[in-house]
Amino acid sequence: EAQVTQNPRYLITVTGKKLTVTCSQNMNHEYMSWYRQDPGLGLRQIYYSMNVEVTDKGDVPEGYKVSRKEKRNFPLILESPSPNQTSLYFCASSLGTGIGDTQYFGPGTRLTVL
């Protein structure tokens, strides 16, 4: 089954404790992206990757890192989480960003930073 998977689905942590949220897709997609969803703000892009070893900042990259060592994986790293990073996070992938290319989303990771 074609899908985007994320782990963990739920995470409660404390300020400053490094964490990684994994994302994997099995559709051989070139493009992958991370978003955070906050009430009243919709989804905002954190980072994206056009291909292996190519990553770039989205609209809200501060406090986050990513890597793209393999085509299928795109982990999101919070080196020193803070309470304002409490949010619902989504990973997505697509063939590209051309006309009509559709992004497929993972199930989400709900992160709470105390």
Partner 1 sequence: GDSVTQMEGPVTLSEEAFLTINCTYTATGYPSLFWYVQYPGEGLQLLLKATKADDKGSNKGFEATYRKETTSFHLEKGSVQVSDSAVYFCAQGGKLIFGQGTELSVKP
- When binding is defined by CB under 8 A, the residue of 8, 16, 83, 107 that contacts partner 1 is 107
25: contact with partner 1 by CB under 8 A: no
- How far, CA to CA in Å, does 53 sit from each of 2, 26, 30, 32? 23, 18, 11, 12
State the Rg of the chain over Cα: 13
Instruction: Dihedral sign for Cα 55, 31, 59, 15, please.
Output: negative
8: contact with partner 1 by CB under 8 A: no
- Whether residue 108 contacts residue 8, with contact meaning beta carbons closer than 8 Å, is answered with no
72: contact with partner 1 by CB under 8 A: no
Size of the site for partner 1 (CB under 8 A): 28
Cβ closer to partner 1: 18 or 57?
57
Q: How far is the CB of 45 from partner 1 (least distance, A)?
A: 7
Report the candidate in 31, 111, 107, 43 with the shortest Cα–Cα distance to residue 68: 31
- When binding is defined by CB under 8 A, the residue of 90, 93, 111, 113 that contacts partner 1 is 90
Burial class (CB in 10 A: 0-12, 13-18, 19+), 84: exposed
Sites for partner 1 among residues 36-65 (CB under 8 A): 40-45, 48, 58
> Interface residues with partner 1 (CB under 8 A)?
4, 31, 33, 35, 40-45, 48, 58, 90, 92, 94, 96-108
